[in-house]
Amino acid sequence: MARAAVVLCALFGVACSDNPYVIGRAAVDAAAADAGADAGADAGSDAGSDAGSDGGVDAGRGECAAEHALALVCSGFESPDLLADWDGTDTRPGGMLERTTARTRTGAGALRASSAAMMIAAVVSKRIGPIVSGDVYVRLYLYVAAGLPTRTMNFMFVGDYPMPDPFVGIDFNLLDGALQVFSPQGNPVRQTGSVLIPRDRWFCLRAHVAVRDDAGFVQLFVDDMLALEATDIDTLPPAGVRELRVGIDWSSGQDDPFELYIDDVVLDTAPVACAP
């Protein structure tokens, strides 16, 4: 997957009560850009909002202040400023990234990323490590509305800094509703599972990356069920694992409008469980 350089997008001077932190604006008709976002919003907005309000603000913050206080990355998107927990925000025209209060799993906020064209990025990033051996564990919660196509939608990356191409690391994709791992250093470069992700609800996604230079592997779990085990991947970049990105890291060849929500992200070198 060739990845063009993404650009750092400045904040727009626009704020609304539900979306106080918006980055990027699609360079297309707004109605078309929002078509994918609206496809499943009505069906799940009440459930998602109720889940967040039940958890409360303290629930979203407490995890990062308590059991995951020493994690390398922990974010429930509670701060109106995304850069409170993340080092960078990258978008390309046609993508939008925001901290939203309209649909959350816990606490007051979550991340919403959307794309309205192919080859779009709308992500937050965090520099870590470098990690040169051992294991990396990521846990996050995803919400994807029903009816939205996923033709190789990249929602997470673990590896080295993205440039230059070919990047060194692991893309985590959605392909026709199933999970896929893509790495230029893998053999084969793409490995896809058969378990379809849940739609119209929050679900727990866990990734276990065994950092090895010759026999690395990746395991992906959906609500604690093994959904993909990808083997024979060089998971150790020469400079080590140094970055996590989540959102829409690349919309590949999909020009249909798409959106996803992410909440309660944790990355550590010890296993991270789904929250009760």
CATH code at position 213? 2.60.120.200
Q: Is residue 3 part of a domain?
A: no
Which among 119, 101, 94, 130 has a CA at the least distance from the CA of 3? Answer: 119
Among residues of the chain, what percentage have pLDDT more than 70?
Answer: 78
Domain extent for 177: 18-268
Q: Is residue 8 part of a domain?
A: no
What pLDDT does residue 270 have? 97
Tell whether the torsion through CA atoms of 236, 160, 137 and 183 is positive or negative.
Answer: negative
Mean pLDDT of 244-253: 95
Among the residue ranges 46-55, 78-87, 187-196, 234-243, the one predicted with the least confidence is 46-55
Q: Is residue 240 part of a domain?
A: yes
Count of domains forming the chain: 1
Q: Is residue 11 part of a domain?
A: no
Please give the DSSP secondary-structure letter assigned to residue 146. T
Phi, psi for 31 (deg, rounded to 5):
-65, -40
Which among 160, 185, 139 has a CA at the least distance from the CA of 244? Answer: 160
Among residues of the chain, what percentage have pLDDT more than 90?
Answer: 70
pLDDT tens-digit series, residues 126-136: 999 999 999 99
Q: Does residue 54 or residue 123 have the better pLDDT?
A: 123
Q: Is residue 5 part of a domain?
A: no
Task: Decide if 132 contacts 140 (C-beta within 8 A).
Answer: no
Please give the DSSP secondary-structure letter assigned to residue 186. B
pLDDT tens-digit series, residues 37-46: 444 444 444 4
